[in-house]
Structure 1
Amino acid sequence: MEGLNWPSFLEFLNVLLCVLHATHAQDVMVCGGFVKADVEINFSQVEVKLYTPQGSLKYSTDCAPNNGYYSIPLYDKGDFILKVEPPDGWSFDPAQVELHIDGATDPCSKGADINFQFQGFGIEGQVISKGTTQGPAGIQVFLKKEGAAEVLQSQKTGPDGGYKFTKVLPGNYVVEASHPKWEFEKAKVEVTVGNANTKVVNNIVIAGYDVHGQVLSEGEPIKGVNFVLFSKTIKQKDVNKCDKTPIKGVGVPEGSKQLCFVVSQLDGKFLFPSLPSGSYSLIPYYKGEKIKFDVLPELIDVQVNHGTVNIKEPFQVAGFSVTGRVLEAAQGSGVANAQLSIDGKRLAVTNAEGIYQLENMKTGTYKIKVEANRIYFDDVSMKISPNTPQLPDIIASKFSLCGRVVIDNYPPGLTRPDHRKVSIKGDSTVIGLSTDKEGQFCTKVQPGAHVVKTLVSKEEEEAGLKLTPAERIVKVVDRPVDDVTFTQFRAKISGTVTCLEKCKNIHISLIPIAREDDGMAAKIKEGSKGGTFTLENVLPGKYKANLLNDIWCWKSKVLDVEVTDKDVIGVDFQQTGYVISVTSSHDLKLAYTNQDKKLDYRGTFDDVVKGLNKFCLEKPGLYKLKPESCHRFDKEEYSFDTGKPIPLTLTATSHRIDGSIKTDIRIRDIMLSIKTVNKDGTKEETRGPLRGSKDNIKMDDQFMVGPMFYDWDHWAKTGDTVVFQPSSKHILFYPQKADIVVQGDSCPISVKFDGKEGVFIEGLVREKSGGQDGLGGVMITITPKNNKNVKVSILTFNDGSFEHGPFHGNTEYVVEPSMEGYIFEEVHEMLPYHWFAIKLGKVTVKVVGEKDEPLNGVLLSLSGGDFRSNNLTVENGTMVFSNLHPGQFFLRPIMKEYKFEPASQMIEVREGSDVKINIKGFRVAFSCYGSVTSLNGEPELSILVEAVSLDDCASHQEESKTEADGSYRIRGLQPKCSYKLQLRDDPANQHISRAEPRDKIIKVEDSDLNNVNIIAFRRLNQMDISGNIKTSKEHLSSLKVKLFKEDNPDSPIGIVNLGTSVFFYLPSVTIDKETAYVIRLESTLARSMYEYTLPEVKFYADSSYRHFTFEFNPKRKSLEQELNQGSFLILPLIILVATLAYFRQQLIPLAQQGIQSLQMSVQKGGSTGGNGVGAGGDAGSIDLITRKKQKARKIN
């Protein structure tokens, strides 16, 4: 670049970056937020602490007592844990927050609040067993608000019955326990939570636990065995839900008392539902009606602790006749002389009551078979044991059902069958059988309702064979049924025809529905205004009776007739009028008038629909018909003669649009613009002023009040587009206009407008202090709620008032005042929009050191209500907090290595006040400055350096992470303390094998320590990279070298600007022999002035060291092609410098590294060469190998 002195520019750039870094070094990040609570707590008892991931405390602060605000300064980037540490038992959400401070994306760097929400206090209590001090685990305990059913929390008790609830806010609560089996003497207790953890004084008490057992006989359960409970210590009143009646004849264990007994159930199981914790004795006792059975064991001891007791070994019955009944039906009579067999052996016969007895039985399952006359039984399997001295009843399952079919006159031409099929259908069964030659049938059926049908073939039905009844419903209850009989049937049909005039030649036809038959017909026998007809010998079946006449109207032209088992009469037809056919293009009403005035017959067809319609005229003669519709038709009137009926066709030509405007008051200047657009062009007309309807007008104090309606109509053709737009000087219309496209399929089309008076918004702003004078110049912003993008802004007049409009009345508006240095308080009186203006105050803080010198960089945290602000003092040690609402604020100065007097204070800010605060700072700790570099002087980034205290200052540890230039600063070292300075044993330092020195003892007196430097040696799994450029010296300053992974060229691992040196060193990479790397040479020489190629080389990290040589020989283009570009590059240079200043936090580390690399290159020197690349060192040849991914080591 001609005209630019590069060495001077580089010097200027280096100075600029140093200035930017100096400014940046003073930056302090703040982690802050609120400890929040929905109830009143003492915020000052809550501490917020910042820890390293290893658990070292970096900073601790308490919260502002007025609003719980806290702030913590951060001088280093890295990973931290922010914890809230309240008094024991208090709960917060979250309890801690993990932070990765990167200076850009984390909450602290972005100034976002990190809040901790108070969840509540703790409740502790216990569930105990009655008579003890402990209880069972696993009891479900619920926490509810007093008087409410909703469960807030639920917990299960621990091993001793204890329970805990956390996150409980102050209030009155109920703790309630439940269990599906165990009973409670006291199931719930009340507890009141104040502003501390609460211990529940009253315990929940379990009354007792369930005890289970079983009794068997040869593996079968035994019912009715008594189990008697005894105890030496438990009182009878403490035992529940068992029979406390004394049982005589039972031995009593020594020193015990009989408490109660229970009886085994059908499954042989017995249960004591609720026994308190203690020791018991249990004795079985079983005595039947005539015999007594022995039960073993005779006695067992039972220990009830804090849970259910299951007696594992069942009791056994060691060492019966049974009776039963055979019944016709459940709860029915007994079946006499029924024979019972078991396993093929007849063992018993029932007596007159159906009772039988089985003797000498053993416990087991038996199959019993029962036989009786015309009564049938299913085989029954029964379990017989001492539990079943009375066996279940055996119920009859089926009975005999018999009948016959009688056909006296079988149809000729058919062969009479010897047998006829019969169907018997029950609730879930169908039985098919055949009659014998005499027509009789018989079968067995289950109790219930049965439908009995005789089956007639299709040929027989067509020949007229009908049996009656068609079916018989037979109810079989508890005995056999006989005499179910069916017989044959034929029928006759008769009816009448009634006409308005002579019936003339009218016939009636009878057509069968279900079979193919020509049917039959009959001509009516005519009378004066009607006639009769008869159809005989009609076979059973369904028919349609049709009256053969289409030009008259009939009450019913077709009648359904069904012949079953009797003659049919009353098949009557009646004329109701004369048919008129109308085909219409639209729905409408059609008025008709008979021209014979003597008849005085007229009316309207109200439901003429689009398409073909047929109606009835009740009188004969000539008619005139007129359409009544919002459509206009091709004729205004049509004619029709009942004597010569001709169908009518109606076609619409235009359609009506009805319009209306509604207003609350009378308006005399409403005009209506109507524009019609169609294929013939555009037509416009104006109507008005419109006249309103007076029907709704009332007089109120000599004034007319509405609503008022302004109506009109308009006719348009199909396809017309009609635009209606009303106008007035006094009101607004909703909508402003209406566009109507006439489809022609329906009408009238309705168009409605609402006319509303415009709304004016007015109000007042007054100063709250002093004489409450009006305040002028206040910005009033008026925003519709339904469209926040449309805003109107005005200023108040000198007297504080404002007015603006008109606005649409059907829209809600948000009206807001604003003015620099003021807040506004709404006043709910006088005008709808009325505010007091309150002038804001400010706090000016000055911080000085021990010698009254200004202290800059002190973090001042000011909070109050929802307000909080964290700012650093400037060069003169001051900071001004402006625009503060009146109220109390909490101020805390913060700067590491300093303590302040006062350490914090409450400040009262009044309206418009300027509070002056003076704070003095005292240096109480100091810093250690140094750097960490590699052996060749290359800075090491993100290395953790720590200082661990010794001797009397034990348990004190501070740490720092190196910056891009390798520098570090360990803050907060205590005076008069010795520290061991070393690289921290941490994963962040895992790539470092050792340091020189390994550690160093430093002594802190009353000042900072400087130049405490460390040399770090990387592990041998790193590959070192160097190179040189063969080129003309004048081109070196335009060159830079980039190192990147082949599969990620957009993220360079290292960049070196050559400056004046031909040699360069690149960041080391991890040896893995698989990842491909690329070194590329780049130049800033203008392509318009030079011709050149940029060499690059690909290699693999497969050795400890590689050296590469590049050649760069640009050729200058001819003079005609040169352009003096110096003037064009001045502007980009200025933009570059401005960008560096703006993005200094992001660019400083990268730029410093580039400058250091450039300086190192200058110091090393070198030689020149030609275009191309070469490699040296102990590596092999440079190969093109398939790319494989490797995790990169980031070098900044």
Structure 2
Amino acid sequence: MCDRGARSLVFFPLLVECIALPGTGCGRHAQQPEGSGNAPGQGKSLCHAVSDADGMFTFKSLPCGVYELIPFYKGENTIFDVSPLSVSVSVEHHHVTVAQKFQVTGFSVGGRVVDGNDAGVDGVKIIVDGQERSITDTQGYYKLDQVTSNRYTIEAKKEHYTFTTLKDFLVLPNMASIEDIRAASYDVCGVVRMVSAGYKAKVALTHGPENVKPQVKQTDETGNFCFEVPPGEYRLSALAATPESAPGLLFLPSYVDVAVKSPLLKVEFSQALVNIHGAVVCKEKCGPSVSVTLVRLAGKHNEERKTVSLTDESSEFLFSSVFPGKYRLEVKHLSPGAVSGEDSWCWEQSFIDVDVGADGIKGIVFVQKGYWINIVSSHDVDAYMTQPDGSSVNLKIKKGLQHICVESPGVHELHFVDSCIFFGSSSMKIDTSDTLPIHLKGDKYLLKGHIHVQSSSLSGEYELPESFIVEVLNSDGTVFGGSPARLISSENDQTSASVYEYSVWANLGEKLTFVPSDARNNGEKKILFYPRQQHVLVTNDGCQASIPPFSGRLGLYVEGSVSPPLSGVNIRIIAAGDSPNALFKKGDLALGTTTGTDGFFVGGPLYDDITYSIEASKTGYHLKQVGPNSFSCQKLSQISVHIYSKDDAEEPIPSVLLSLSGDDGYRNNSVSGTGGVFSLITYFLEEYAFSPPAQAIELGSGESREVVFQATRVAYSATGTVTLLSGQPKEGVSVEARSDSKGYYEETVTDSSGSYRLRGLLPDTTYLIKVVKKDDLSSSRIERASPESVSVKVGSEDIKALDFLVFEQPEMTILSCHVEGSRIEELHSHLRVEIKSASDPSKIESVFPLPLSNFFQVKDLPKGKHLLQLQSGFPSTTHKFESEIIEVDLEKNTQIHVGPLRFKVEEDHHKQVCFTFFKQIILS
């Protein structure tokens, strides 16, 4: 029998089987084997016993013999490892206690890995504390051998799976199995197949459980993608990786719905390809010269282009295998010789934008509208075009390149309408088959003006002419042309004036003067014009402002008579004031005429802005004014006068003033010639005393008398010359002799040879003789004289050789200035210098571009006050330009530098330009 007191070191039930050696067997009281009934060894198990809580086991009622004890334990998932594997025991006629103890060295324990369907997962690597210990079988089971009672971290790993981890898990030998390891998430993988290179896709995972956020992943270089998700239902959609650069990139299917309970590895999307189909409608045959281009609209860059040409047989076009997305279809017709590949036809729509979906698109139609005519114009101009069928189209041609669409092919004729710019001819022919641009270059500018003839200045029977003549003078004052001013509007109930219009073509930069005149010689009284002339400077490269108008009035005519009638009487009409129109000064002779045989005279036409006085004279007659315009005349008697010198009879007597007066205010001043020759002068000679001082003469009708006077020298003269530094004589310079001590003063003016003679200088008197500056034209330019003055004492003879040298202000005026302003280098090409008259700002003296140095110099400007400013070439709709204005007086300083002249420019970004589109034309 076995020893019941023996104890094992194993503290869990241990099945110990007793296997009899040959010739032995178990007693009748021994327990029958449990479990399988067979030990793991080669022999057949005779019986077995189970160790108790103390590890003790007992075999009872064993017959004598030799036995082999084999310990083992095998549960559902647990197997113990016991050492030694077996012990041989001999049982004789006494109880036997086995001295050899069975020691449990470890045990094996099993577990299972399952998915979301509780199905086992095969091939899962079991990692225990970082070391691989087992792999699951086809049912998901695994076994861990040689473990001890301890705490372990058990992980499961398999591609496309993520499992829960058993952390700090206590393993005991008495447990049936390890807790199941469950799959926590699975990989959902697939591929996006692309047709076009250069594009990438991304895949979105949405519509999952509430605790799973949507995800987006970009495919790799081969188009593959993977998501790791917990079990549930999801939706997968393929998208363009960068929608802004490929907005039309679409995929089929548009989405895939999946239920994830295990890894899904074969989800597949492919890039969609569709067709675009359309047709072209031409006025004539389309043919291969018509092409349609498909442009993919990829954000800011239109990169991909495909072009197909029509055929002689068909006007339809097809783009196949096109990716869905946004496209632009462009139609074009190219003629041989077309400029830079430009379209020679115009269309109802030259391009059509389409959004191509997964089904493609059909029914796109391009319709030809007409034929392009290209015009390059230097200016805006209104025109109309006559078409081959006789119809006409109104046009508004803009400055620059312009495309005009005409509906019919063939030759068209372009006519300009009331153009203020002359383009070389009034019309030109244009052929639609010639694709070269038509260049319109404006070379002359229309200047137009009006003359208003006031009816209030005309008599009731006066008949106005059909036209007047307006002479045109260039800057040199030379007449180089004329223009008729034709009657365009007569006096009526609404207007009190008749209007005449004239025009002339001028070149840019020309300075013209317009002088109207009434050229009629039919005896009618003539019209005079106010002002007398108008000055115009052509500075604007475009339509010119109207010439300031003239006002026409019937000229003033002075009518009078001489009684009794006498022909050949000289009538002098004298200006009684300054006339800005007639350019008369007060006292100037306005007009001279003579009486006819009837004694009547008529003088005119005269300007009516001043009044006039009338003088009448005729040699041998005394004329007396008896009315405003009437004179009486009387034939005069003749008096001869001889004057001689008392001191020296051989010395000729200088010219002497003889004053003859008579009844009724008659007075006649005459000057004798040298030696007593009779002549008429305007002042008395002061160097001689005459005896008798006066002589009364009584004349009968037709009688002649001779009177003799004796002259005595009482004063003397001072003579000399006034010249310029060059030696040139200076005429019209005033020279004075002044005696401050005695209060005497004499003055004279140099003649054409620069000589002067100061008369009436009294003996024994000291005079200071010098050149004086007057306001008259001749001496106003004198700056100084050398010597400044000469002091002389008069004796008993004339003083000679008192010469003066005068220095004048420079004749030429020079104005210089420099310009300052921000961004002047950038704006330089748009700036012009403008100089105007200060007294008449409408009168522009000079206009020229600002030089690159920002410094300019202007010569030969008229003396007087001028306004200096800058002008800009910027459109007033886009820029606000302001310039300083500097006033310069070239009368005081003929050569002067001013400045700086400043300006400022502000851009106006709020202005907009409106364009008018016409029904029958396209302007672009």
Shared fold by TM > 0.5? no
TM-score (normalised: structure 2): 0.28
TM-score (normalised: structure 1): 0.22
Select the structure of larger CA radius of gyration. 2
Structure with the higher fraction of residues in helix conformation: 1
